[in-house]
Amino acid sequence: MKTRALLLVALLLPSLAQADDYAGMLGYLNQSRIDGRALAGASGAIAVNQVAGDINTQANLVGMAQGNQARVDIDARSTSSRNSVLLDGPLHASAHLDGQALQGANGIATINQTSGIANASMNVVRATLAREGIRESDDEALAESSVTASAGGQGRAGNGLAAGTRSVGVAASALQGFDGVLQLNQIAGAGNDTANILGMAVHGNP
């Protein structure tokens, strides 16, 4: 009898280990992190899309034009239908920018960092160098057709459980000494939409 009992325990152990590994894997897949010295000292146009999860959409769009009648039109749309994920358990999602990431970098940096389900994030930079003088971009100007940005309809998270943990953050050591234009979207969760839109026009040489 003792031998049979030991045999049963031995047969159950691999199944339990696999279950633990699967649960740990699900937790890992909903964590996005930029760490260490990633992109430290980088220069120019820096674009990062980092995602962990299901049916998430991301975009980094930069448009520039120079001339007497310079104009930049950006039209970004993301649509999908009948995409859904059932939340059948707690969602533990996190998105973090840590370490010395982007320290001393310069230029235009557009970063989307997402963990979770059915989220959308977008960064848009539009710049023109023309003879029309300097114009400030207020809310009304940004809503013009020259910058059309829509990230809706990217899917849905279903009707499962929304319990769990959400965490986003930027470490104090990250981004130190960055010089230029920085757009950062961080999402942890389900069904979120975020966007950064910058439009500017300058006269002559900057």
Kindly state the average pLDDT of the residues 38-62: 93
pLDDT higher than threshold 50 for residue 36? yes
In this prediction, what percent of the chain has a pLDDT beyond 70?
Answer: 62
pTM over the 0.75 mark: no
Residue 103's alpha-carbon distances to 7, 35, 172, 175, 180, in angstroms, are: 56, 11, 11, 5, 12
pLDDT higher than threshold 80 for residue 61? yes
Name which residue leads in pLDDT, 65 or 80: 65
Q: How confident is the model at residue 134 (pLDDT cuts 50, 70, 90)?
A: very low
Q: Which of 92-101, 120-129, 131-140 has the lowest mean pLDDT?
A: 131-140
Q: pLDDT at position 156, please? A: 54
Kindly state the average pLDDT of the residues 108-128: 93
pLDDT higher than threshold 80 for residue 1? no
